[in-house]
Structure formats: C-alpha cells, structure tokens
Chains A and B, each alone.
Chain A
Amino acid sequence: MAAPIDLHEVSEREREARFRTRWRVKACGSTACISAGAGAVINAVEDMVEREDMQLEVQVIPTGCMGLCSAGPLMRMMRRGGQETDYQKVTPELSREIVRSHVINEEPLPEHQLDTGIPFFTSQERIVLANGGIINPDRIESYVAHGGYSALEKALTTMKPKAVIDEIRTAGIRGRGGAGYPVASKWSLLSAAAGDTKYVVANGDEGDPGAYMDRTIMEDDPHRLIEGIAIAAYATGASDAYIYVRAEYPRAIERLDRAIRVARRNRLLGRRILDTKFSLNVEIRIGAGAFVCGEETALMASIEGRRGTPRLRPPYPTDSGLWGHPTMINNVETLANIAPIINNGGEWFASIGTAKSTGTKVFALAGDITNTGLIEVPMGTPLRDIVEKIGGGVPDGGTFKAAQTGGPSGGCIPSKFLDTPVDYESLRELGSIMGSGGLIVMDDSQSMPDVAKFFMEFSMDESCGKCTPCRAGTVQMHNILQRIVDGHGTRGDLRDLEHLCTVVRDTSLCGLGQAAPNPVLSTLQYFRSEYEALLAKEVAHG
C-alpha cells in the first residue's frame, strides 16, 4: 500500500510553484464560460506562451467558475506580489493582446477590464464557491494548497465521530436540497442506525430549470465534495458512498471520476485513509434523465438499478435505504459546506446568516436581470440586495415584477416582498421555497399564468406516473392553464384549477406532485387579476 499524501508537503510545493513565474493567467474553464468560448481562449494563451517562449514568465491555469457568467469568458492576470486585473468577454485575439500588454509592457487594457469592485463581487460571501476562479479543479495539489483535505485530516486524527456531528450541530447547517432539514439530525440518525453496512449518498441530480449550483461544485471543486462525503461517512460510520450525478453533466462525471481515482491513489479514499482505521469506498452512479430521481427514495431505487419511482416513507432511508441498509442522502452543496465547518468551527459557520438559517446559500441568478451568474450570499440577505445590488437590477429600463425561487416546486415572490430576507422560513411563508437555489427574475413583460403553465408542463413531463393525482392531475392542470393562456378559460376552469391544486398537493405520493401546484398557487395568490383578465367572456348560462 502506497504511503498517504503528505498534505503539508504538497501544499508547500504548490505554493512555491505558484511564484515560479512572474505572471499567472487564470482563465475560467467552467461550463458557462466554455460555452461562451473559453476553451479557445485557454488554448490561445497556452499556444502563445509556448510559441513565444514565455514559459518562464507566464503560467496558465484553467480554473472553475468565477461567478459572473453573463460577462464570460472571464480571465484574470495575476502578477507576483499581488496585482490582479480581471477581464470580461475575452476572445482568443483579445487574450493574446492582454497577456502581451501585461507581460511585455506592464500595461493593463482598461477598456476590456472587469471591475471587481462592483457589488456583484463585493456583496457576496463565498464559502462553498471559495475556490471558484482560484484552483485548477483537475489538480488535487491545487486543492490541497488551498487548505484541501485538512478538514478530513483534522476530523480523522483529532476528532471522534460524535464530535464531528456535534460540530455540525453547532454550525446549525440545514439541507441545501430544498427542504431544509437539519443536517446534524440526519447524521445522528444514520450514526445511531443499527447494522455494519451504511451508505452515504451525495445527491447531484440537480434538475430545476436554470439551476447549476451543484454542477459547478462537482465540476470546479470535486475534491471539496469528496472531502465532505468522507467526513460525513466517518461521522456516521458509513463505509460506502455514492455520488448520484445526472447524465446531463458529463464534465462533472469526468472530473469526479478523475478526482476519486486521484484521491484513492493518495490514500484519501479507499482502505485505511491517511493511515487511520477509517476506510471508505466512493462510487459514481449516473442518472438516466429523470427529475424525480432527485427525490431520495426514487434516487435510491435508481442506484439499485430499479425503475426510478418514489416509495412511501416511512421507512426513512436512515432506517431502510439502499438494499435495505441505513442510508443518508445529502445534497452536494450541503456536503461542500462540511470541510469549511470542520476547519473553522461550527460557531464560525453559525455566525453567518440568520439564527435559524445559518451559513450561506448559492443561487443561480437568471432571467431578466443584468448580472446573471452564480452567486453566494449569507442566508437572510434581503431579496432586494440580491436582485438590485448583486444582480444589478432589471436591464433595459424594465420593472421588476417577481422572483421565482425553488423551480417547479417553488413560487413567485412579487415586488412588494422584495425586502424579505432569503431564508427557509421567510420564503415558505410567502408560498415559495428555498429549493436548491434557482432564482429567476422576471420583469413586467412576463405573464404569470404563462410562467405557471411553463412550470406545470415541466412537472407534468417529469411525473413518474406512479400516483394518480400527480400523473393525471398535472395533465389536467396544464390543460386548464393552456386554455386560460389561450383566452378560452372560464370561471369554472379557474375553480377546477384551484381545486385540483389542493387535490394534487395534498394527495400526491412524493414531493414532486405535492409541490407541483406551488407555481400556480403562488401566482394565483399574488397575480390573480392576470388570470381573471385572461378569462373568456362568459357565455349566457355557460
């Protein structure tokens, strides 16, 4: 058996290498920037460095998401000694120009610069995304140099499993998948469950339209997730773990696969991790394109190789999960929070956010908003700060109308509630949910019945078909919404729609069906007049 990685030594070596060259070029290699052409930018800079013999002057580092996806591809010039300049909307030609200008002339190119002093960057607090734009996700050394795996080492060598759970309890972190169940309670349940075989599952089946928090974590900081899983397994006594990733995330799967192999080679996974008695096997399981597999019982069925349909709870997974063994399912973002909590302490984490919703939350900001991208803010940040400060408000002189959170299971929050703090309870009170972190801003050109119809169509397409209300009820609700949007709806239709909303919400088997009416209910609550304006003129006696 090979010796385990020496975290300290790797870290030192990596830090030295960092200052080997006078310049470092960090180019965002995350999916959003890649789709905007970042691949060609990275290649262009690497080619130029090689062709013009600049290797001793410049090193090129592809990184994870820098955040402001709407300005991508993003690139950062870093000079030894601290000076940093960021550039936006970089093309291959521009990237060469930027590098030459900095390295040869020591001159920045102001007209393409990205101002990192804007509130988009300054109002964020990045814990989960701390390594985004900084480390090279493909190199474990890069992660280790930024404190990676020190939390695992700390937990394994200095803490008892129960102490780890206590730290998580002190942190007060709640599940980031949407429901907000206290993480420590779940861990305690698995820890207390009987049996030698226990499983930890990372739920990376992120499916809300427009949401890509988990994808970014898995692609840009895969070792962070692995470290979180390892700590969770250690704390709960699990010996096997699965990362369930949707098939639509091939880059995440590729990077996680590589990260797992590298971690195993370095004795951060596998048998006797870091020469302790703790062993853990981690495997990836790939989804087959069903949204419902994000629901934990359907997810487990899918891992077991069965049809991905939910089953009734109880029994809860911590009592009877994968193949009947106790199993705990945590969201990817939840697990990405674990290493910082262990490193900095639960009290530090609890000091961020609100009393009941601690820490930060990552949101994928999308829709009618100036700065679209991935942001991370302390829990309890007013929605107004997210929309106006960080998001830069509605573009083109439009007016903010509503923000949609929680995707097809969430609701729309109208402008009169813009000052609501974003936390689990406040959002639920408004008829929406925190969800996994999709946040879609809509301006006043959006029709709310149309929005409701869009999400209903999503739920209808994604219903697994097991229970009647979800399978057939979503079809009927979609029919009625279609009729209303087309201007043929009647008052009776509206009555039937509202009744169906309650039937489907109260009688469906799993969260998908129970939450499917939420977009309709919340838009009916706040924008009822829009529905009524669309109703057809009543026919006599009709």
Chain B
Amino acid sequence: MTDLHADLTEAQPDAAPARGGSQSGRSVKAPQDAARRQTAALSAFLLVQTVGTVFFVGDVIGDLREDPTSIHFMFEATVTMALVLGVLFGAFALRRTIELLRAQEAALDVARGALSDVIARQFQAWALTPAERDVAFLALKGLDVAEIAELRGAAQGTVRAQLTRIYSKAGVSGRAQFAAFFVEDLLGEGVGPAT
C-alpha cells in the first residue's frame, strides 16, 4: 500500500506534465534549481579567478626577484593583492550562499514533512480507506478525475465515487473546500471583513 502510494506520487509528474500537477513542488523547486546552477557557475568563476590570480602572483614574485623597487613591481603587487583579496572574499561569499541554499532546502523539507503529517493524521481521523487515502492525496495535489483514474488504473466512475465518499467523510461540499481544509490553517487570519 505504502509502495503503491510512493509510486503514485513519484509517477505523477510524468503522468501529468502538461497540467503541472506538481505545481506546489515545481514552483518552489524551480528557484532552488536556478540557485544551484548559479552557485555552480559562481564556483567555476571563482576557480578561474584563482587560476588567474596564481599566475599573477607568480609573475609578481618573478618581478620581486628582479627589481623590487620599480614602479612596475609596486603597481603590479598592489593589483595582485586586490585580486587575492577578491578571491578570498569570493570564496567566503560563495560559502554563505551555499549554506543559505541548504538552510532553505531543509526548511522546505520540514514544512513539507509537517504538512504531510497533518494531512495523514486528518485522513486517519476521517477513517479513509487506503484506496481513498491515495485518491484524496492525489486530489490534494491537484490531479483531476481522469488523471487519478489513469494513474490508479481504475475507471473514472470509481474514482468519482471514491471522491464523493471522501468529501462526505470529511464533511466538505466538494474539491475546493476539501483542498481549502488544509490550506486554511497555513493562511492564518486570511479571511476578514473587507475594509
């Protein structure tokens, strides 16, 4: 049962790519992916910068052995020093970025885990059968009847009947209220009299 569930959730992005069934997952993940790519690009740049800096340091040391008092040497040494500092600060900033990214990912996982805990407990409280839990979970993820039926290899009529039973067990009027049941708590004092 659990495996079926895992498979369903994993297979779901493939099965419903056009619909964007994993809107929640994808919209949060996309910036994370972008940030990860950006970090990789920054790292590559930092390494190239390091290579350039090392070549310059070598050059400056060569100049130092030839004539340490020349204007050429002093100027180049200053510029190279700036390069070295730039690399060090770059490395430090990159570390901060990487750590920030990880903290965000961890927070996201915690939030996801917490929400799914809440959902699981609620499903249990409503005494949903295992099949109903699967359907309810997929419905919460935004799949429509046809997609759920396809994923579960069931007839659309079956899924529709299951959804109806789920709504009645949950005491909600339909899909919108069903989804709102879990979102409501996250929104806090969202609904108030219009001012």
A and B associate: no
Chain B residues packing against A (C-beta within 8 Å)? none
